[in-house]
Structure formats: structure tokens, C-alpha cells
Copies of this chain bind each other. A is one copy, B any other.
Amino acid sequence: MNQIKNNWFTESCEMWPGGTFSIQVKEVLHTEKSQYQDICILDTTNFGKVMVLDGIIQCSEKDEFSYQEMISFLPLCCHKNPEKVLIVGGGDGGVAREVVKHPKVKEVVQVEIDAKVIEVSKKYLPFMAVGFDSPKLTLHVGDGFEFMKNHSQEFDVIITDSSDPVGPAVSLFQENYFALMKSALKPNGIVCSQAGTMWNDITLVSNTLKFCRNQFPRASYAYASVPTYPSGQIGFVIGSLDSDIIFDTPSLVLSAEDLKTMNLRYYNSEIHKAAFVLPTFVRNTLA
């Protein structure tokens, strides 16, 4: 890894020039070049285990729960009866871990393009890969885009947990991807996609939201605080076929006891609502 110097790994990406995050490394546990990307696992001094794909931090043991819980529970708790869920991407297992916690979820199908990511996560990130152990889950290795072409009106919720739109995930940020998800949804279905940060990528956010709005009668942007992502924040585009939906009012309200039982460390029913409240400059840009 030429991004490691004197035991510090430095992230670098053309998408957010001029500012960069570095993380102190105890040990490089694994590196390999898969068919799709460079995969690296770091053991760090203060963020636990960290997965890096193509030089970009995907998750750290310290803060991954924020992202995984929010990308899962925002759409699940908007839906009245999310029985069957499709996860596209999410090869570390973190989203699967969260989705199967929802009491109404009966069946989860996951399509991850890179078998190596799954394998490496199982070996080094068991706190996330535990998601693969659920009897509710069927895991396919393949292209989510191609997979959906053969599945019509099948899912209540589709969650796209992708890397950023450079490399293998670029097709997941296009309008035809939203069209494809729409056709794979049951009536009143909901989609939720990783959609970039408001501070660095407002054009990406705006475009992704526009594509979603073109395909779905209702669409919105929500966000969460994740320190190891650029600008310390990441957002989600969420779209629904139910034109009466009120995104910021969850269908399922979780009690303090529920949160404890389900080990939800970031998500709660109040932060669900707050996640849709945008700073003025974002609200104006996305209006």
C-alpha cells in the first residue's frame, strides 16, 4: 500500500480534493487485488479494524454502526410491511446484520459483485460478517444490476450499499438503475441508496436525487454522521412508490427496550425524523 507512510494510512480520492483523512495503523492484516478492486484490511490504533477498497475507507469498527443502521432502518421503518428485502452490495455483511433485526423482515436476498470482499470480511471483520449467518439471508455473488433484470415486482425494500461512483459502483448511481429497482419492487416499495455527502458532493447528491425523483413519485435525502467518511457525513437517497408516504414519520416506532434488544447504537425513531432535516444550503440546492 503506497498510501501508508510511517504507520499512517492516508485516504486520497479525486472526488474530494484538497482535504484528506489519515488513520494510524498498527498492522496491515491483508491486501489483495480482486477481479474488481484493491482490498485492504488495516488494524488501527483507535478505529479498530478498517476495510479499504481502492484506497478509500469503507468502514471502521469504531463508527460503522452509524452507516449500517441508518441505510437499513430508514427505509425499513418507512415501509408498513417490509417482508422481503434486496441488498445490492454490502459485501462486508453490515447491512445484512441490521436488516435481519427488523421484526417484519422474513426474507433477505443479497447480491454482492465481489466474492473476495465477502471472504475477507468473514475472516477479519466478524462483527460485520455476522450478518451472513442469518437463516433469513440468501447470498448471491454477482452483478446487482443484472440480477434485478430477472426479478420483477418481488421486493418490498431495496437497499444499495455501494462504494462511491468511481470504479465498480458507477452504474449504481445512474437513472436506469433507479428504473430497474422500480421494476423489481412490489407496489408501495421503497429504495434507499448511499448517495454521497452534502459538503463535498452536492452535485452528486443532487443528480442522484433527480434520477430517483424521475422514477419514483416520492423521493428525499437524509443523512448520518460518520467520522471516517469524507466530511464526517454521508447521505442516502430514498424513494417510494407509495405517493402518500411521509418519509420522516416512521411506520414502526421503536421503544428504548427495542433499541436495546436490537442493539441499535445510532438509529432511533427520533433520529429517523431528524435525518431528513437539511441545512439551509442543502435544502435550497435540492429543492
Contacts and interface: CB of A to CB of B under 8 A. Distances in A.
Interface stretch (A80-88, A107-115, A208-216, A273-281): A273-281
A232 to B, nearest CB: 1
Interface string A263-287: 0111110110110011111010000
Q: What is the count of identical protomers in the complex?
A: 2
Interface in A12-41: 17-24
Contacts of A232: 225-227, 229, 231-233
B18 A21 contact: no
A227 B19 contact: yes
Contact of A233 (B44, B225, B266, B280): B225
A122 B24 CA distance: 37
A228 B265 CA distance: 25
Nearest to A10: B22
A251 interface: no
Contacts of A225: 198-199, 223, 225, 231-233, 279
Given A19-B21, A225-B232, A227-B232, A273 B277 contact: yes
A241 to B, nearest CB: 26
A200 B200 CA distance: 22
A58 interface: no
Interface string A182-220: 000000000000000011100000000000000000000
Given A19-B23, A22-B10, A23-B18, A283 B265 contact: no
A66 B278 CA distance: 12
A45 B19 CA distance: 9
A246 interface: no
B277 A265 contact: no
A164 interface: no
Nearest to A266: B279
A47 B19 contact: yes
A231 B283 CA distance: 23
A166 interface: no
A198 to B, nearest CB: 8
Given A225-B279, A227-B233, A271-B280, 13 more contacts: A8-B20, A18-B46, A18-B47, A19-B22, A19-B46, A19-B228, A225-B231, A225-B232, A232-B232, A264-B280, A267-B279, A271-B278, A274-B277
18 contacts: A8-B20, A17-B24, A18-B44, A19-B21, A19-B23, A19-B47, A19-B228, A22-B22, A62-B199, A63-B199, A225-B279, A227-B233, A232-B233, A266-B281, A270-B277, A271-B277, A271-B278, A273-B274
Interface of A: 8, 10, 17-24, 44-47, 62-63, 66, 198-200, 223, 225-233, 259, 264-268, 270-271, 273-274, 277-281, 283
